[in-house]
């Protein structure tokens, strides 16, 4: 299951032209004691996933994505529906993670009636990340990020992953 999920993750990263967590760090992320994979399947295929963290009365949906071959099955909608169902059955608050201010993801959350909080993160690399985001449209940027993440995976994850 982890291997199939990692393959979806890799395809997603290629689409977003972003940095890559090596399989070992991806596994460590998923193996965190409070973490679990929330999977949507279509037949024998994993079509969408969230790596979730549960703590007290909260569930945090962190890294996630979907297999574009199954987008017509509305796998992302199903993922959110099942996450909401799970949270309601277990009395949990859902935290959907960060989104860049004004992004489509953040607009989706507002349209769904969710509360968007301003968060602080350490290290404070927000200015650097805002400067870097427009360069992600260039294929060369993705190659540089992939190379950097292969050479310095822990450092890239530390500075680039949007954690609070």
Beta strand ranges found along 32-137 (DSSP E): 35-42, 45-55, 58-66, 93-95
Looking at residue 129, the DSSP 8-state letter turns out to be H
Q: What is the pLDDT of residues 43-95, one digit of tens each?
A: 989 999 989 989 999 898 888 889 999 989 999 889 989 998 999 999 998 88
User: Model-level pTM?
Assistant: 0.69
Q: What is the pLDDT of residues 108-142, one digit of tens each?
A: 667 766 666 555 555 566 677 677 778 877 888 88
């Amino acid at each position: 299951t982890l291997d199939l999920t990692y393959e979806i993750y890799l395809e997603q990263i290629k689409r977003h032209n972003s940095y890559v967590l090596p399989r070992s760090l991806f596994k460590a992320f998923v193996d965190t004691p409070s973490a679990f994979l929330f999977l949507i399947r279509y037949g024998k295929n994993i079509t969408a996933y969230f790596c979730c963290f549960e703590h007290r009365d909260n569930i945090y949906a962190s890294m996630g994505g979907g297999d574009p071959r199954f987008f017509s099955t509305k796998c992302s909608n199903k993922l959110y529906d099942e996450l909401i169902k799970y949270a309601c059955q277990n009395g949990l608050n859902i935290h959907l993670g960060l989104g860049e201010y004004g992004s489509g993801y953040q607009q989706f959350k507002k349209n769904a009636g969710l509360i968007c909080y301003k968060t602080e993160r350490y290290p404070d690399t927000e200015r650097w990340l805002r400067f870097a985001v427009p360069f992600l449209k260039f294929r060369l940027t993705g190659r540089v990020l992939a190379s950097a993440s292969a050479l310095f995976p822990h450092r890239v994850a530390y500075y680039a992953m949007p954690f609070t």
